[in-house]
């Protein structure tokens, strides 16, 4: 079984910013001359600057310098993290500009291709159009290709069917309309 002291001395427990971490919003525990100061780098800088002002008012030049050095350390951490974020942002913006330029190039090439194809189609020789005029259906050449369906003999046109009406029954002498035996009762 490992002792707790060897675990606390491991490198992973140190309060140093690790690459890829967000130092700006990270909470640090700073061990200063007045005890621990906890907070984000900006909060720690403000606290050490306040302690340095208090020490200066108390005419303690050594404590003032000590607090200012602690504040400067966190100021360096913060400025380095800000530089890294700015470099990452600039790199992303550069990549975005390159991607946009590539898309613009592809779009202009596509438009040029399409306009060239349209110009080629306009310049291409067009087939001659033959005006056949109006022709009758009595066997004149219509310019169409003859198919087996068109060569089949034409059937004479059918007359439309007429509906046969039922003969009307003659009226009975009893006077009922339509000869309905039930109506007579």
If you average pLDDT over each of 35-44, 58-67, 114-123, 155-164, which comes out highest? 58-67
- Cα 180 from chain centre: 79
Asked whether residue 1 carries a pLDDT value surpassing 50, the answer given is no
Reference 69, options 89, 84, 49; nearest CA is: 49
If you average pLDDT over each of 10-14, 93-97, 150-154, which comes out highest? 93-97
Asked whether residue 15 carries a pLDDT value surpassing 70, the answer given is no
Both tokens of 120, joined, read 């080629």
Q: What pLDDT score does 17 carry?
A: 47
* Confidence grade of residue 10 (pLDDT, cut at 50, 70, 90): low
Q: What pLDDT score does 89 carry?
A: 94
Is-contact 79 46, C-beta < 8 A? Answer: no
Of residues 73 and 156, the one with the higher pLDDT is 73
Asked whether residue 146 carries a pLDDT value surpassing 90, the answer given is no
H helix intervals, the chain: 4-8, 41-57, 61-123, 148-151, 181-184
The mean predicted confidence, pLDDT, of the chain is 78
Q: pLDDT, tens digit, for every residue of 77-96?
A: 999 999 999 999 999 999 99
- Cα 130 from chain centre: 52
Q: What pLDDT score does 72 carry?
A: 95
Asked whether residue 132 carries a pLDDT value surpassing 70, the answer given is no
Asked whether residue 115 carries a pLDDT value surpassing 60, the answer given is yes
Q: What pLDDT score does 60 carry?
A: 94
d(CA 150, CA 166): 42
* Confidence grade of residue 29 (pLDDT, cut at 50, 70, 90): confident
Beta bridge partners of 39: 28
Ordered by start, the domain boundaries in the chain are 23-121
């Amino acid at each position: 079984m490992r002792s707790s002291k060897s675990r606390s001395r491991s490198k992973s427990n140190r309060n140093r910013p690790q690459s890829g971490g967000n130092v700006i919003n990270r909470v640090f525990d700073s061990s200063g001359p007045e005890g621990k100061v906890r907070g984000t780098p900006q909060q720690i800088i403000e606290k050490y600057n306040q302690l340095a002002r208090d020490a200066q008012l108390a005419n303690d030049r050594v404590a003032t310098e000590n607090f200012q050095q602690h504040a400067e350390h966190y100021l360096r951490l913060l400025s380095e993290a800000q530089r890294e974020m700015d470099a990452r942002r600039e790199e992303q913006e550069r990549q975005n500009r390159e991607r946009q330029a590539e898309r613009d190039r592809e779009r202009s090439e596509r438009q040029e291709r399409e306009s060239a194809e349209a110009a080629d189609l306009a310049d291409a020789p067009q087939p001659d159009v033959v005006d056949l005029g109006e022709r009758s259906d009595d066997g004149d050449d219509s310019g169409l290709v003859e198919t087996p369906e068109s060569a089949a003999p034409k059937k004479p046109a059918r007359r439309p069917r007429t509906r046969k009406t039922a003969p009307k029954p003659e009226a009975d002498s009893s006077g009922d309309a339509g000869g309905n035996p039930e109506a007579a009762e």
